[in-house]
Amino acid sequence: MTAGRHPGEVVPFSPHAHDTFRFLDRSMDDRGVVRLRYGLDGGPEFEERFDLPLPDSREAVDEARIERLLSLLHWVAGVSYYKTAAPPRVAFSGGPPPPATATLLEVLYSEGLGEFAATAGLRHIPRPAFAPGPAPDLHPDDTPPRRVLVPVGGGKDSAVAIEVVRRSGLEFALFSVGAAPAIERTVAVADRPWLRARRHIDPLVRDGLLHSALNGHVPVTAIVSCVALLVAALHGYDTVSLANERSASAGNRWFDGVEINHQFSKSARAEALFADALREVAPGLRLFSILRPASELSIARAFARLTRYHRAFTSC
């Protein structure tokens, strides 16, 4: 939050006064507290925080990989603060993203904000350029999945994904950002280890304290995915298995000559872009949806057979 402001104080703000969004710095301390800092030229600055579950020992953790995944989270989570002004440019206080990651970010900060642009009254979808830096020199790793982390949202898709992974015979645990009641109930029914992170959005955005700031939908699944990947790497899981089904790739409106998908970060295209970025920054770590081929109807049928989850889930 901007220095010198009192908690709860509304900050005068003009989105059009800002030309550049800046990725300032990021860190993770030995308690698992992640701090991600951002700013707009001329202010304000923002800080997002995550509290991550840590393993008992980090002797086997690839710390260089953790640093690269921390950067990925920093860049992706910035979309929540970029949207306050949606300026034409971005800048990096640290190094720029490598090529495949830059491509992911360019799409995430444009098509991923399509719904936001259409509802916030913008004339066009934002299209900031993410100039890439060099790719890290890492060896490919095509080792088959062995340990799976399954994000849980508390809906029927999560329950079906959990049971599909269970039937695979692979070792798996559950993951969530936060602990909504439906998540807690689903975890209790699934009876698997649970790794839980907590997210703390900067009060300027969380409490709507930027007067006249732009607001609207952001690709939150992309942010949750990055947190899950970071936790997976810390705890020795090689796969994050999402529960996004086939219709998540379908658009719902047109704007600025682009078919807008309000679920963009759940789409097959976003999944493919993430896969390319992970091959670049964390080879051997995978992110994919185990329900991708399935229709909503087939998932509903599968869920109907999972009667023990019926009192646990919530659904929109």
Domains in the chain, number: 1
Per DSSP bridges, beta strands 194-200 and 171-177 are parallel
Q: Per the domain annotation, does 212 fall within a domain? A: yes
What is the per-residue pLDDT for 251? Answer: 80
Backbone φ and ψ of 186, nearest 5°: -65, -45
The answer to whether residue 4 is domain-embedded is no
Boundaries of domain holding 29: 15-136+143-309
**Ordered strands of the 33-40 beta sheet:** 89-92, 20-28, 33-40, 45-51, 194-200, 171-177, 147-151, 239-242, 286-289
Residue 198: strand pairing partners: 51
**Does residue 97 belong to any structural domain of this protein?**
yes
Q: Is 35 inside any structural domain?
A: yes
> Does residue 316 sit within a domain?
no
Tens place of pLDDT for every residue, the chain, 316 residues?
A: 555 555 678 888 999 999 999 999 999 999 999 999 999 998 899 999 999 999 999 999 999 999 999 999 999 999 999 999 999 999 999 999 999 999 999 999 999 999 999 999 999 999 999 999 999 999 999 899 999 999 999 899 999 999 999 999 999 999 999 999 999 999 999 999 999 999 999 999 999 999 899 999 999 999 999 999 999 999 999 999 999 998 888 888 898 888 888 889 999 999 999 999 999 999 999 999 999 999 999 999 999 999 999 988 876 5
Could you tell me if residue 10 is inside a domain? no
Does residue 2 lie in a domain region?
Answer: no
Beta strands in 83-193 (DSSP E): 89-92, 147-151, 171-177
The whole-angstrom separation of Cα 142 and Cα 135 is 18
Closest CA to 76 of 42, 51, 103, 54: 103
Q: Decide: 157 and 142 in contact? Cβ < 8 Å.
A: no
Quote the strand ranges of 136-290, DSSP E. Answer: 147-151, 171-177, 194-200, 239-242, 253-255, 258-260, 286-289
Residue 1 maps to a domain:
no
